[in-house]
Amino acid sequence: MIKIRIPASTANLGSGFDSLGIALDLYNYVEIDFSDRCEISSKDGSEIPTGENNLIYVSAKKVFEKASKNFTGLKIIEENNVPFARGLGSSSACIIGGVFGANELIGKPFSKDRLLDIAAEIEGHPDNVSPALLGGLTVNVMEGNRVHYVKSEIPEELVFAAFVPPFELKTEDARKVMPKEVSMKDAVYNLSRSSLAAASFLSGKYENLKIAFEDKLHQPYRLPLIPGGFEIIEKSYEKGALAAYISGAGSTMMGIFDCGKQKANEIAKEILSSGNFEGWKYYILNADNSGAAAL
Ligand code: HSE
């Protein structure tokens, strides 16, 4: 049995739609072994698909197929700590758990880069699977079936306050509300900001992040699906956030702070007690710079 640890991730980072993502130190665990059938269970009592449509199973099977290995089934035991369908990369953690675990099982025929290509093909975009596999901040472009990326570490001074509402938001639904086409003006607005976001992370010029995270491609269309989301952004900035945004496709709202974990914890508590945020939870996290790992 092989045990894999996979980090949560926060994608888009405002303007970097489908491109930027950061791994976070909140983890799912997947134990995986050969079997003559599909055997899937959960350690944490969460309700998970236990059939052949399970995303870890599907992803692992894909690696067997790509490596031309005989596939008879798998035994999978999941421990899920990343909230489901909340914009914290729970699907990507499953995909990476599957592809990474299967690759380990069959003697590592694929490099991490090829695993990333396979994972991004399954997910359809690279901005969660890439940091979940590699850790840190990743800047990604998907060209055909290949992901071209740069990975960079994120220092401990950056603290991520994840505000998680009591409702799910499926990525599929959050993608449906977006326009099919955008104006040149909005395209330039976003490309200049996402370049600034990437360069500011790489150089440590964090004072740029507020402007760099502004976005015209997805957040204006998605915020109406997240009651309380806009208030979290406003309140986070009032409390000194470097950036505040929808994490991935939502429903989690994220604030990035540089005031230390204890202070960020106080701020998050204050924000959630200052309005109508019944049922919301928060996590105070750092980036994970290592990515998926076999334990
Ligand atoms: N870039 C993706 C989106 C992340 O915003 O739809 C969620 O999977």
- Do 281 and 171 share a domain, yes or no? yes
Give the mutation target among 10, 17, 173 for probing the ligand 1 site: most ligand atoms within 8 A of CB: 17
Give the CATH number, domain containing residue 129: 3.30.230.10
- Do 58 and 147 share a domain, yes or no? yes
Strand ranges, E, within the chain: 2-11, 20-34, 38-42, 74-79, 137-143, 146-152, 159-164, 243-246, 253-257, 281-285, 293-294
- Do 163 and 148 share a domain, yes or no? no
Bridge partners (DSSP) listed for residue 161:
255, 284
Closest atom of ligand 1 to 218 CA is 5
pLDDT of residue 46: 84
- Do 143 and 168 share a domain, yes or no? no
How remote is the CA of residue 222 from the centroid of ligand 1, in Å? 11
- Do 195 and 138 share a domain, yes or no? no
- Number of domains into which the chain is organized: 2
- Do 73 and 149 share a domain, yes or no? yes
Query: What DSSP assignment string belongs to 122-133?
Result: HHSSSTTHHHHH
Closest atom of ligand 1 to 175 CA is 6
Pairing of strands 253-257, 243-246: antiparallel
Q: Is the peptide bond prior to 251 cis by the omega test (within 30 degrees of 0)?
A: yes
pLDDT of residue 44: 85
Closest atom of ligand 1 to 249 CA is 5
pLDDT of residue 63: 98
pLDDT of residue 34: 98
Residue-range definition of the domain harbouring residue 202: 159-285
- Do 113 and 239 share a domain, yes or no? no
How remote is the CA of residue 277 from the centroid of ligand 1, in Å? 24
pLDDT of residue 121: 97
- 56 close to 99: Cβ distance less than 8 angstroms: no
Helix (H, G, I), strand (E, B) or coil at 209: helix
Give the mutation target among 9, 177, 218 for probing the ligand 1 site: most ligand atoms within 8 A of CB: 218
- Do 104 and 179 share a domain, yes or no? no
pLDDT of residue 292: 98
Contacts for 181 with CB less than 8 Å, ≥ 6 apart: none
- Do 47 and 128 share a domain, yes or no? yes
pLDDT of residue 123: 96
Give the CATH number, domain containing residue 184: 3.30.70.890
- Do 147 and 166 share a domain, yes or no? no
- 229 close to 246: Cβ distance less than 8 angstroms: yes
Pairing of strands 74-79, 38-42: parallel
How remote is the CA of residue 230 from the centroid of ligand 1, in Å? 18
pLDDT of residue 119: 98
With a 6 A CB cut-off, is 9 part of the ligand 1 pocket? no
- Do 40 and 145 share a domain, yes or no? yes
User: What are the per-10-residue average pLDDT scores of the chain (295 residues)?
Assistant: 97 98 98 98 91 98 98 97 96 98 98 98 97 98 97 98 96 95 98 98 98 98 97 98 98 98 98 95 98 97
Give the mutation target among 171, 222, 246 for probing the ligand 1 site: most ligand atoms within 8 A of CB: 171
With a 6 A CB cut-off, is 250 part of the ligand 1 pocket? no
b (16+ CB within 10 A) / e for 134-143: bbbbbbbebe
- Do 30 and 98 share a domain, yes or no? yes
pLDDT of residue 10: 98
- 99 close to 74: Cβ distance less than 8 angstroms: no
CA-based nearest residue to 287, from 14, 26, 15: 26
For 28, 37, 81, the CA distances from 33, given in Å and listed in that order, are 17, 11, 21
- 97 close to 28: Cβ distance less than 8 angstroms: yes
pLDDT of residue 242: 98
